[in-house]
Amino acid sequence: MRRRDKLKSIQKANSLVEQRHLEAKGFLPEETTMNSSAINGEKYTSTWAGKADNIEEFIGLINGIPETLESIKVTKETKVFNPASEKFEGPITDDKKSAIIKIVQDVNEKFKEDGQEIHTFELSSYYGVAMNAEKDREAPAYIQYRTKQSDDFGKKMSSGEYGSLD
């Protein structure tokens, strides 16, 4: 086995072990979808970034955010276009995670008050899933929400219904 292949195998094993550890502690429900990327035919799965279809599962994802992240930007409004957000600089401590969870819960309630429902909560890296697990745990991240209305807006924007994007 080549040295590079051996290193990739070790990184994959470490990621799986960490993900199983988080699941065992109750931070990551098994139904949560973790983000992944295909790079040069290899699949890389994030140990912390992913999507959930309900707030309870998403809180588990938030609790699993690595302290080493550079920053995380959290959407704190229900506006579809250019909503306000709050940025938390690293290290992402337990106090910051609690503040992030509070924002997510408040936004979820605001959507319900507006007659909308979040169908997907997303925690993502601005860089996608990196080949290097260490870099993946240091990237800046963001949280966003998807509703039927936001999906419809995205479709209309991409179809040109609101005019040219140029």
What are the structural domain ranges in the chain?
A: 3-159
Structure tokens at 157: 């924007």
**pLDDT value of position 108:** 97
Nearest to residue 129, comparing CAs of 52, 50, 68, 61?
A: 50
Residue 91 corresponds to which tokens in the numbers above?
């290290």
**Confidence band, pLDDT 50/70/90 cuts, at residue 44:** confident
Residue 133 φ then ψ, to 5°: -60, -35
Render pLDDT for 47-77 as a digit per residue (tens, 0 to 9).
Answer: 899 999 999 999 999 999 999 999 999 999 9
Cα 39 to Cα 26, 111, 136, 139, distances in angstroms = 30, 36, 14, 17
Looking at residue 163, the DSSP 8-state letter turns out to be -
Copy the structure tokens of residue 33.
């979808």
DSSP 95-157: HHHHHHHHHHHHHHHHHHHTT--EEEEEEEETT-S-SSHHHHTTS-EEEEEEEHHHHHHHHHH
What are the pLDDT digits (tens) for 96-147? 999 999 999 999 999 999 999 999 999 999 988 876 667 778 889 999 999 9
* Strands lying side by side in the sheet with 85-89: 33-39, 42-52, 118-125, 141-147, 71-75, 85-89
C-alpha to C-alpha distance for 97 and 78, rounded to whole angstroms: 20
pLDDT at residue 29 is higher than 50: no
| 78 secondary structure, DSSP code | -
Question: Which residue in 164, 124, 156, 119 sits closest to 141, CA to CA?
Answer: 124
How far is the C-alpha of 111 from the C-alpha of 11, rounded, in Å?
Answer: 39
